[in-house]
Amino acid sequence: MKFVTSQTKIEKIKTDALVVLTSKTLNKSIKHIDKNLNGVITKMIQDGDFSGKNISTCVVRNASKNIKRLILVGKEEGSSVQDRIKLIELGASNILKSYITNAHWVIDDTYEAWEIEIISRSILKINYSFKGNSKSSLSKLDLVCLNDYSLSNTETSTQYGEAVGRGMNLCRHLGNTPANICTPTFLAEKAKSLSDENTCIKTTILEESEMRDLGMLSLLSVGNASAQPSKLIVMEYNGSKTMQQPIVLVGKAVTFDTGGISLKPGRGMDEMKFDMCGGASVLGVMSALSEAALEINVVGLIPAVENMPSGNATKPGDVIKSMSGITIEILNTDAEGRLILCDALTYANRFKPKYVVDIATLTGAVIGALGKFTTGMLSNSEELAEILANCGNSSGDRVWQLPLWKEYDEQLKSNFADLANIGGEAGTITAGCFLSRFTKDYKWAHLDIAGTAWISGKNKGATGRPVPLLMEFLRSQVN
């Protein structure tokens, strides 16, 4: 898939499809197009074939001798970010057909830079197929700038959108890969291959013996019963030309989660291959960072394990010691994500981070609270929480903050250890409270993506979230 930008005049365009976003009231640019197409847009509106309302669409065949299809998509003034993303995705889906090999997309002065980013991001997202059998034949999309709209800005926005789109698709592909293939070792090898391809990334893999020497007994307790060795993947992206404090991303990667001794129900357990989507999102971000060449320093930590039951599995009632020295009573072995994250969060401190953000498919409770639309967020820093919330809104990959109040934290009390690994009610919040015990030395936020990392049903698959949010956050931190 090739993306190009140009300032070609409308009368010189020869294409299989021309995409035009417009409301019922035509602006100057669209009026110019309409005039060159003998008033076909006006006619579609007058005849009721096209309303111009958000996410309405109309396809006009043979709009001119050189334009085989005119694809009109409704875009009302003042529409929300979410609506504008949907209508851009609608335009993208209309050109990803087997009979369209090249297409043009009109860019005029009503576009904001982020909308242009969404075009290339959406094309790559919609065209993705795990089995590699996409029905699209589109080989090139030309973004045509009208009214002297900045060609360089369009090119920059398109390239950034491509980077994010490919990062999302890497995240999705790893999430969709079956757990018999996507093991902790597989993820470690993928991280190494990324650093081999990009000199700005340095990758180190900590093996079980090294983690044991560091005292990461909480992390290691989760993979005790698996034939697959646990890994801690450490990726360092050095994009800044100055000595900046890095931002650390910590991604939970339980490559398959049976629940351990606290065994999950069999129905739907196949979807537990998605329990590594936090780690997959960090790999996706590292790939996107390299392609976008953001001038920032970022460390990606991916604790990768498989949670299985066997004779040497961790049991409910066991007490383990974390890298921080805090002891943990295991009340439920299916609350394992926090056990691998807490040691990774302690390890993060050695990088003297500006911020730390962990990303995890941590609790089913977040789906009950927020559904499948929004990522749950908890943070010990209102400053960081506000930045992430704003970046979620502008990227269309939204978050909603939940409280870290003392009353919830008290549910983690244990008679036999410093804290228990589960509380009572409000499971998403008590999980955040657990993690907050290990983040006292830096500004930290936790993203619970259990509701947003994948979808179920006939379209089952990983979504690539929250790669757009994380990339927008990192871009906001570039000096």
Q: DSSP H helical segments within 128-237, as ranges? A: 151-176, 184-197, 208-214, 217-222
Q: How far apart are CA 193 and CA 235, in angstroms?
A: 11
Catalytic residue list = 264, 338
Q: What angle do CA 470, 398, 84 make, to 5 degrees?
A: 105
DSSP 8-class letter at 265: P
Closest of 17, 242, 41, 254 to residue 141, by C-alpha:
17
Instruction: Check if the beta carbon of residue 461 is closer than 8 Å to that of residue 168.
Output: no
* Four-residue CA torsion sign, 322, 328, 330, 335: negative
Q: What angle do CA 17, 22, 23 make, to 5 degrees?
A: 145
The answer to whether 137 and 98 have CB atoms below 8 angstroms apart is: yes
CA-CA distance, 249 to 251, in Å (whole number)?
6
DSSP state of 67: B
Q: Do residues 372 and 456 touch, judged by C-beta distance below 8 A?
A: no
E runs forming strands in 290-392: 297-307, 319-321, 327-329, 355-360, 375-379
Q: Which of helix, strand or coil describes residue 123?
A: helix
* Spatial separation of the C-alpha atoms in residues 208 and 223, rounded to whole Å: 10
- What stretches of 177-262 show up as alpha helix (H) in DSSP? 184-197, 208-214, 217-222
- Are the C-beta atoms of residues 329 and 420 closer than 8 Å to each other? yes
